[in-house]
Amino acid sequence: MSLATMPPEIAEPGPQAAPAEPRILWVGPRAHTPRRHRFTLAKPIPGGILLGPALLVLAWVVSSWAGWLDPRVLPAPWTVAQTGWQLLASGELESNFATSAIRAAEGLGVGVMTGVVVALLSGLTRTGEYLLDGIVQVKRAVPTLALIPLLVMWLGIGEPMKITIIAISVYIPIYMQLHFALRGIDQRYAELASVLRLSYLQFLRWVVLPGALAGFLLGLRLAVAGAWIALVVVEQINATSGIGYMISLAGTYGQTDVIIVGLVVYAVLGLTAELVVRVLARVLLPWQRSFAR
């Protein structure tokens, strides 16, 4: 009988494999394994930005109802609402609102166009940067409201002066954010465009402008806020109409409720503009993923 045909029990033993390690069955609680966290904010709620203002109004209502607020200092919400309804019925509020909206829109339009043009010239060419960026930085260091006396001497106290002040307040944040976004385009994208043999116009259309769009929208948000701040100031300088004029006139006669109505109108306009810009950012930047999403 050959070794190959011998039964296993009498065959010559060969090299034995190492005995398998005993398996231990864990019957107690499962060991904790670290879970991978996705660091992000909670899912956004539609209209969630209105929660803060709603709580502020609620606190105002409760404080007025409990008698914690002096009506001469801050009238109750229902008193302000009644005054606003009376101003609406008389047509005074609509007229002043239309005047303020037109001023803000004109100043915002002029400021945005100026900021975009100057930022493109300065952000896309070295010559434009050398010629324009220094001037903008000098203006940035000078408060816009400090220019009012000079602009009154140059343009008078009419609408051109008011729109110019609003436009100056707008174009600075537009320029700063857009210029920074243009200069922040990744150099690898420029190299890729060179490899793909894109023309300069195609490079601007498909690489530079989409990459700088987020910066422009951020500048637009800041510009809208600056427009409303400037509007409040210029409408109290020899104005004959507008929400600011209504507030100034009410302050002369001690009509606190009318002042609050004007401030509420400013707040609603500013919040509406902020919501519009946020929606615009979500529509124009669907590819952008951020921590907040």
Give residue-wise pLDDT tens across range 165-191.
Answer: 999 999 999 999 999 998 888 778 778
Give the model's pLDDT for residue 11.
47
Give the model's pLDDT for residue 28.
52
Domain 76-283 in CATH 1.10.3720.10? The answer is yes
Asked whether the predicted pLDDT for residue 5 surpasses 50, the reply is: no
Give the model's pLDDT for residue 284.
82
pLDDT band at 107 (very low <50, low <70, confident <90, very high): very high
More confident residue, 246 or 5: 246
User: Among all chains, which residue has been given the structure tokens 């220094």?
Assistant: 134
More confident residue, 156 or 30: 156
More confident residue, 199 or 12: 199
pTM given for the model: 0.76
